[in-house]
Structure 1
């Protein structure tokens, strides 16, 4: 563990990653025009929501670095993962709502390279090391990339986002049986869900998911209404809202995580 990267090791054939739960603006805090805006789009409390998975033997990888400093789930080349759709960059220059993050100049190529070397590369090296460690013990493992987002972000998607957004890069990042198992549980929950909709999986699932090599990667993007009370419009006085003491979606998430472990063991 470093002061910004935490790896909680388990022995089950499952890794949970949390690339966007951090709020640390590191050594570039002074460059942002608003600390609050630079932290607003974090995946608030998602690592707390999934804390139970550690008790089930999952490996948990978290970062404290804010996605506004560098987004650990973007293509490091800078290429868009969603061509033709609104999104944010490797080193974002706007919030999800399109608000500018910088009062002055945006990060230039040298600064982006520095941030990548400091945070992006070590994060993915740590993830690759855990994949290798668990693959040495298990013929198949599941990599579960955990995310959340506000239910309404008009710049990114129309209307209300489904509660459970499952991404497998169009089925390329995991075995179809895993995708089907997770989708079936989400459908049975009574909450809305979609597979490979607006969020089809970011760099983590697309880069590390190699089902032909026993690494089955899936992204879960949760609408935040399932575990906290979302205000109509977030502001510094009401955001982030606290996590609900008994989230409505927690029983389904427990079943989903158990199914991921069962899938990997069944393939073993």
Structure 2
């Protein structure tokens, strides 16, 4: 059942019957811009920041017994896969009330509040008011992450375990300034922040299913996992978080930004991944 739990913020699909303690969440594929969002970038360039169609690729996980959660707000507005203090002070018009923690990506324009899109195109021609950034956190960031926390904590309390898959997509070829520049990326890259956000068994199960379909799968190679798994993963407490990066060329034309027919096959394969993770979760209850 599709529930638009917070219109404009996130939707959730729950399986029929008792849900397994498994959550697939899609934090960076939304394209529902707030009415008051203003940018000097073109819509075409803004759209290139979105991991398009990922929510469609994972639509079949509900039939396997998992819960599906999808953020509507585009990451050009606020990136839900960044820490809440990952802000460059120079991009603010005013003082933030606590010490900020900008990372290397933030300094290049892709932090919590991105300042560039499509690789090099600026989003703004002036610093943002502190009140505007606070509003984006309060209206989009925290409601989404609070829902992830609520679901995972609920699963953990009821079943003794929770499995969290944070679902993303990556360009087939990295940007020229990326750490992995110059070589085509794998089909799937699984990020557990080098073993810190989930047990090895979850990585092995997901990788095994994908490899069984013939995909080239790597771990912590292109992306080790960002804020969604860092914030929510607690394997010592039974909450296992894994980031899944999927090569966009598998299901879409990256230049035209359109779906490929293979998307339906990808959806079936990812539903099989979900079914296997559900089996794992039920075995650990």
TM-score (norm 2): 0.83
Asked if the contact 1:12–1:261 (Cα under 8 Å) also holds between the matched residues in 2, the reply is yes
| Deviates further, 49-58 or 176-185 | 176-185
- Give the equivalent residue in structure 1 for 2:7: 3
- Pair 1:189 & 2:194 matched: no
Asked if the contact 1:20–1:67 (Cα under 8 Å) also holds between the matched residues in 2, the reply is yes
Closer/same/farther in 2, CA of residues 153 and 246 from structure 1, 3 Å limit: closer
Asked if the contact 2:46–2:118 (Cα under 8 Å) also holds between the matched residues in 1, the reply is no
How far did 1:87 drift? Answer: 6.9
2:164 partner SS: strand
2:112 partner SS: coil
- Give the equivalent residue in structure 1 for 2:203: 179
Q: How does 1:191-230 map to 2 (within 5 A)?
A: 191-230=215-254
Closer/same/farther in 2, CA of residues 61 and 81 from structure 1, 3 Å limit: farther
Closer/same/farther in 2, CA of residues 247 and 226 from structure 1, 3 Å limit: farther
**For residues 168 and 36 of structure 2, what CA distance do their matches in structure 1 show?**
24
- Give the equivalent residue in structure 2 for 1:133: 154
**For residues 113 and 8 of structure 1, what CA distance do their matches in structure 2 show?**
28
How far did 1:243 drift? Answer: 4.2
- Pair 1:33 & 2:41 matched: yes
Q: How does 1:41-56 map to 2 (within 5 A)?
A: 41-56=49-64
- Give the equivalent residue in structure 2 for 1:143: 164
- Give the equivalent residue in structure 1 for 2:136: 115
- Give the equivalent residue in structure 1 for 2:276: 259
1:26 partner SS: coil
Q: How does 1:218-257 map to 2 (within 5 A)?
A: 218-231=242-255, 238=256, 240-244=257-261, 247=264, 249-257=266-274
**For residues 186 and 273 of structure 2, what CA distance do their matches in structure 1 show?**
16
How far did 1:190 drift? Answer: 2.5
**For residues 159 and 248 of structure 2, what CA distance do their matches in structure 1 show?**
33
Closer/same/farther in 2, CA of residues 26 and 94 from structure 1, 3 Å limit: same
- Give the equivalent residue in structure 2 for 1:95: 117
- Give the equivalent residue in structure 1 for 2:65: 57
How far did 1:47 drift? Answer: 0.9
How far did 1:135 drift? Answer: 2.1
Closer/same/farther in 2, CA of residues 87 and 55 from structure 1, 3 Å limit: farther
**For residues 28 and 55 of structure 1, what CA distance do their matches in structure 2 show?**
37
Q: State the superposition RMSD in angstroms.
A: 2.2
How far did 1:253 drift? Answer: 2.2
**For residues 181 and 80 of structure 1, what CA distance do their matches in structure 2 show?**
34
